[in-house]
Structure 1
Amino acid sequence: MKYVVVSLTAATAVALGGLAVAVPRLLSTESTSTVDATSTVSQTEVEKQVREHYALPLVQEKPRAVNCAGGLKARQRATVDCTVTSRDGKKQDIAVSVTKVEGNEVSYDYVVLGD
């Protein structure tokens, strides 16, 4: 299985003529949520956050639907698999992963799963 990483960073360095230049990223997929008493970000909250942050940078079209296999545990590198359905019906599988846990706040991002 091939992974295509969607970057969290606000800027990245690009080499132009031997110089590294910082350019802003057009797509940020990072989300932060508060966990419930079970130390889990609910399935509903994960789906909502992915739906809000999944739009392509130039098209700005949010997906028609996001379906996740469950909630997201508040543990570093915990994951949950989700399927994103675009407005035209195409489906894309993604893995939502925890990037940081601080108190009752969990930050997470996703990677697109390829063939």
Structure 2
Amino acid sequence: MMASICTGVADKRSELLIECGGKEKISLRYIPYRDIEPEGNSRFVVDWITPNETVSLKMLYEADDGALAAYPTMSDRIIELLKTGDRITARSTDGKYGPDDFKLAGSSKAFAIVRKSCPE
């Protein structure tokens, strides 16, 4: 089971995907619009920004789907921000990707559905 949010115009779209990442983990996949692909296995720090808080998350570029990926646990702060916020902005700290503003309406329900698909 996967949930996704898109932002941007059709030819410059960015995506945020969540799916089960293993027991008590979420696969968080940020696919920013970009002109040039990074080298495989490149590492980035992405700031996830809400009006009241910023969480920095180390993410690995996975070339198979072009995502910057992280595997936080369900109790990590980034998950709580994604579940409870109205919107969140993602941008890499090196300035290469983003800022991308994602609306989070319905995200709490999406996390509940994704979590049910994870092993116990």
TM-score (norm 2): 0.34
TM-score, normalised on structure 1? 0.35
Between structures 1 and 2, the one with greater strand share = 1
Q: Which has the higher helix share?
A: 2
When Rg is computed on C-alpha atoms for both structures, the one with the higher figure is 1
